[in-house]
């Protein structure tokens, strides 16, 4: 097998730069196991693309590492390593290489990998979320949360161990199933931990996936991507507007209390992480400005709809995959409409 050759891509390198603070924040909140998850995903994605690139006499793209990083940071910090590997291989092999390599894929590879493991391994992907470490040095001095047999008070006092038999719930699960509203400041900063009571039982408030916790860091990364013209701001903004608009209409206008408030919708779960890093994928997103607005609005609204009506409380990945399906058609429809308007104007 040939020595790997790389297709250098400046935009992909800048995306990795933007993901670096997100990764470091996840280390602080969840410990060094996140780094092991990232390394596993990077190795699996690289080997898969290297093998396939050799078969078509191509090069390994830097996008491969972006896909692996996005995928790894979208996983819970306790995800088994073999599941991490499976999802990374699926992302590269079936969502990218099956279409001919970089630039030819229809679906966002990272989302495909994440959706695959979510559907195939729902227990491992939904039932083992953990709270974040707090204080100094936080997770930088720890490997990961450990499930030890201890009193519930241990969780809230030390933040080091989860007691056996105590249910954990992310902010979205906690609100939907137990009526508990996580403080907005916790969602913005990422300090998601603690305990709450529901019908005389103790529940642990757990954070979500590794990269989605701290909204401040994600927004700063978004600013970097926009200023360096690495990512299209229209896609980010339209996704947020779409989610905020439908959330406002359903809750405030129609009075549906099952839909959370707008700010909770925006800062909980993976919405911001996806809007900044995944909706903006230059290959699977539409290219025309009008199409990009429609695309983002569609995905943002779908996220809220899925959270309201679906069994799962997230829905971001499936919303993006549906958006990927209509992206090429959006560009085609806008082009045809523009031609018709020009034809009418000339007549």
Per-residue model confidence as pLDDT tens digits over 61-78: 899 999 999 999 999 999
Q: Are 269 and 212 in contact (CB under 8 A)?
A: yes
> Look-up: residue for tokens 């997230």?
314
Q: Which two tokens stand for residue 50?
A: 């290297």
Q: Are 147 and 164 in contact (CB under 8 A)?
A: yes
| 4-19 CB burial, b ≥16 within 10 A, e <16 | eeebebebbebbeebb
- Phi, psi at residue 212, to the nearest 5°? -100, 0
- Between 119-133, 138-152, 221-235, 322-336, the lowest mean confidence (pLDDT) is in 138-152
* CB under 8 A, 24+ apart: contacts of 334-338: 334/288, 334/290, 334/291, 335/288
Q: How many residues does the chain have?
A: 347
The model's pLDDT over 152-169, given as tens digits with 9 standing for 90+, comes to 444 443 344 555 456 788
Helix H or strand E segment including 205: strand 201-205
Which range among 54-63, 125-134, 190-199, 299-308 has the greatest average pLDDT? 299-308
pLDDT at residue 146 tops 70? no
CA distance 259 to 313: 11
Q: What is the pTM of this model?
A: 0.91
Q: Residue 149: which pLDDT band, with cuts at 50, 70 and 90?
A: very low
- Between 15-19, 42-46, 315-319, 343-347, the lowest mean confidence (pLDDT) is in 343-347
CA distance 115 to 63: 19
Q: Are 146 and 161 in contact (CB under 8 A)?
A: yes
DSSP assignment, residue 101?
A: S
The model's pLDDT over 275-302, given as tens digits with 9 standing for 90+, comes to 999 999 999 999 999 999 999 999 999 9
> Coil, helix or strand for 174?
helix
Q: 283: buried, middle or exposed (CB in 10 Å: 19+, 13-18, 0-12)?
A: middle
The closest of 106, 14, 22, 119 to 72, measured between CA atoms, is 22
Please give the mean pLDDT across all residues of the chain.
88
* Beta bridge mates, 45: none
CA distance 90 to 109: 8
Q: Which two tokens stand for residue 80?
A: 């088994």
Q: Which two tokens stand for residue 176?
A: 């939907």
Q: How far is CA 155 from the centre of its chain?
A: 27
Give residue 103's pLDDT: 82
* Beta bridge mates, 202: 197
Q: Are 285 and 326 in contact (CB under 8 A)?
A: no
**How many beta carbons lie within 10 A of that of residue 134, not counting itself?**
15
């Amino acid at each position: 097998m040939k020595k790997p050759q790389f297709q250098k891509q400046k935009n992909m390198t800048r995306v990795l730069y933007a993901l670096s603070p997100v990764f470091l924040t996840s280390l602080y909140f969840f410990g060094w196991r996140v780094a092991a998850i990232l390394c596993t995903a990077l190795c699996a994605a690289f080997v898969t693309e290297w093998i396939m690139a050799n078969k078509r006499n191509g090069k390994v793209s830097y996008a491969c590492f972006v896909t692996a990083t996005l995928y790894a940071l979208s996983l819970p910090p306790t995800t088994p390593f073999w599941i991490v590997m499976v999802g990374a291989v699926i992302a590269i092999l079936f969502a990218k290489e099956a279409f001919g390599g970089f630039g030819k894929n229809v679906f966002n590879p990272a989302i495909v990998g994440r959706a695959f493991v979510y559907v195939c391994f729902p227990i491992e992907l939904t039932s083992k979320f953990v709270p974040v470490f707090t204080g100094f040095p936080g997770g930088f001095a720890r490997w990961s949360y450990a499930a030890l047999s201890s009193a519930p008070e241990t969780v809230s006092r030390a933040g080091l161990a989860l007691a056996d038999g105590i249910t954990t719930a992310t902010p979205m699960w906690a609100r939907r199933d137990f009526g508990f509203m996580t403080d907005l400041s916790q969602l913005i900063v990422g300090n998601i931990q603690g305990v709450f009571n529901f019908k005389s039982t103790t529940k642990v408030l757990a954070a979500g996936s590794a990269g989605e916790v701290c909204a401040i860091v994600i927004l700063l990364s978004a600013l970097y991507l926009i200023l360096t013209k690495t990512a299209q701001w229209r896609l980010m903004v339209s996704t947020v507007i779409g989610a905020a608009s439908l959330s406002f209409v359903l809750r405030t206008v129609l009075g549906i209390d099952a839909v959370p408030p707008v700010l909770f919708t925006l800062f909980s779960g993976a919405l911001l992480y996806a809007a900044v890093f995944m909706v903006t994928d230059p290959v699977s997103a539409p290219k025309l400005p009008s199409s990009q607005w429609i695309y983002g609005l569609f995905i943002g609204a779908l996220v809220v709809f899925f959270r309201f009506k679906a069994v799962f409380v997230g829905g971001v990945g499936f919303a993006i995959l549906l958006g990927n399906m209509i992206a090429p058609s959006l560009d085609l429809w806008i082009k045809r409409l523009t031609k018709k308007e020009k034809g009418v104007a000339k007549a």
